[in-house]
């Protein structure tokens, strides 16, 4: 059987206590304190839901009791209603500013007391239910993360067989040329899946703040060129020209743009940002990739498309996407996560008719 809500009445006048107790005793479990010190002790020791607190008491007045209750982590959550003969608006304002939820003046109106107490108890229990639901949601989210982490880890076992068996089959041969191509395709696909699992594990570690960065001097231009080459089908389908510049000059194949970072994380940033730029760009337009040095190394990827208004403020949030049937909402999110892990960042500027520019920063190599 669920316990009754527990109310503490604090007053130094027995008649006032009896009146309040008689009104509430049928629906609530009542506790009594006749001074401030006893009220503080009782509130700290019992699961009190609501305190009806007089102001004018000897030794310690109700304001001081309220102040101490709200200053103590054990009791600061308890709702307080002042019940007092002080009728000045300044007194009521002071009580509410100290953290009381209501203020009732004496002589009290019995039905009003009952109604206000009922309202506050319902609010107390409503907040408690919300807190419990929030805790349950947090536990579900933690369980989901744990399950995903286990799945990512356990996928590596079967993948090792998928990757190694093609070599065993090839060695056992002989295979004709068509079979050899299929075996190589299986092996390459296995490696691709393994990379995806490793990236997913790295993302989890970044989100948890436990990823151990391994920065080195890398040639960002080579990484950009590789990502651009892998997206050739997208450029061709939309007849998009991709122009890469370094400090305003068109980049040559042998140029370098050195930064401090991790090659795999940087590749992940630009394969996502370039793919998004290509998908957002109108047909027969240009995507520009402008590399430059200032206080940090900067890469600006620009296209003539515009980020939809409904997601502009949440673009970098997880799972945010718009107008993409197969979109996961992880591309831009993971790009910023990867950049910040390396000491940089990704920011967006989008408007009509200028289009959209995603600016990625890296630590500069001096």
Most confidently modeled range among 40-49, 90-99, 102-111, 158-167: 40-49
User: Given phi > 0 = left and psi -120 to 50 = alpha, else beta, which region is 247?
Assistant: left
Lowest-pLDDT range of 17-21, 133-137, 239-243:
133-137
Residues 235, 169, single domain; the answer is no
pLDDT at 251: 93
| pLDDT reading at 146 higher than 60 | no
Residues 264, 326, single domain; the answer is yes
What is the SS3 assignment for 46? coil
Residue 357 lies in a domain: yes
Residues 220, 358, single domain; the answer is yes
CA dihedral 198, 204, 205, 207 (to 10 degrees): 140
pLDDT at 219: 92
| pLDDT reading at 326 higher than 70 | no
Residue 130 lies in a domain: no
Residues 39, 178, single domain; the answer is no
Residues 261, 360, single domain; the answer is yes
Count: domains in the chain: 3
CA dihedral 305, 310, 312, 318 (to 10 degrees): -110
Query: Contact, 221 vs 244, CB < 8 A?
Result: yes
Residues 339, 227, single domain; the answer is yes
Taken in order 127, 130, 132, 134, the sign of the CA dihedral is negative
Residues 360, 246, single domain; the answer is yes
**pLDDT one-digit tens code per residue, 101-140:** 998 888 888 888 899 999 999 998 888 888 888 777 766 6
Residues 227, 344, single domain; the answer is yes
Q: Is 71 or 91 the better-scoring residue by pLDDT?
A: 71
Torsions phi, psi for 28 (to 5 deg): -135, 155
Mean pLDDT of 148-159: 58
Residues 46, 152, single domain; the answer is no
pLDDT at 66: 94
Q: Which residues contact 183 (CB under 8 A, 6 or more apart)?
A: 166, 169, 170, 175
Q: How far apart are CA 318 and CA 145, in angstroms?
A: 14
Instruction: Give the domain-ending residue among 192, 208, 224.
Output: 208
Residues 181, 256, single domain; the answer is no
pLDDT at 24: 92
**pLDDT one-digit tens code per residue, 193-204:** 766 666 776 777
Residue ranges making up the domain that contains 17: 6-108
């Amino acid at each position: 059987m669920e316990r009754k809500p527990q109310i503490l009445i604090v007053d130094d006048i027995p008649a006032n206590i009896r009146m309040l107790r008689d009104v509430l005793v049928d629906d609530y479990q009542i506790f009594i304190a006749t001074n401030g010190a006893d009220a503080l002790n009782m509130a700290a020791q019992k699961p009190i839901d609501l305190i009806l607190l007089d102001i004018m008491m000897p030794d310690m007045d109700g304001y001081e009791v309220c102040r101490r209750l709200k200053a103590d982590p054990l009791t600061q959550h308890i709702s307080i209603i002042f019940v007092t003969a002080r009728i000045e608006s300044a007194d009521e304002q002071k009580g509410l500013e100290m953290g009381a939820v209501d203020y009732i003046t004496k002589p009290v109106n019995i039905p009003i007391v009952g109604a206000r107490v009922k309202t506050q108890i319902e609010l107390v229990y409503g907040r408690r239910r919300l807190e419990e639901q929030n805790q349950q949601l947090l536990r579900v989210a933690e369980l989901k993360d744990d399950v995903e982490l286990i799945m990512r880890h356990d996928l590596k076992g079967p993948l090792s067989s998928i990757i190694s068996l093609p070599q065993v089959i090839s060695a056992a041969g002989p295979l004709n040329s068509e079979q050899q191509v299929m075996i190589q395709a299986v092996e390459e696909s296995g490696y691709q899946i393994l990379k995806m699992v490793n990236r997913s594990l790295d993302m989890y570690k970044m989100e948890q703040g436990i990823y151990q960065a391994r920065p080195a001097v890398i040639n960002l231009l080579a990484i950009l060129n590789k990502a651009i080459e892998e997206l050739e089908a997208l450029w061709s389908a939309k007849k998009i020209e991709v122009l890469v510049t370094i400090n305003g000059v068109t980049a040559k194949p042998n140029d370098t743009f050195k930064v401090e970072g991790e090659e795999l994380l940087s590749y992940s940033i630009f394969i996502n940002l370039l793919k998004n730029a290509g998908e957002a760009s109108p047909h027969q337009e240009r995507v520009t990739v402008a590399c430059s040095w200032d206080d940090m190394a900067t890469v600006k990827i620009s296209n003539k498309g515009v980020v939809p208004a409904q997601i502009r403020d949440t673009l970098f949030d997880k799972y945010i996407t718009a107008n993409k049937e197969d979109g996961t909402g992880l591309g831009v999110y993971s790009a910023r996560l990867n950049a910040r892990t390396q000491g940089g960042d990704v920011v967006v500027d989008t408007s009509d008719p200028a289009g959209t520019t995603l600016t990625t920063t890296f630590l500069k190599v001096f």
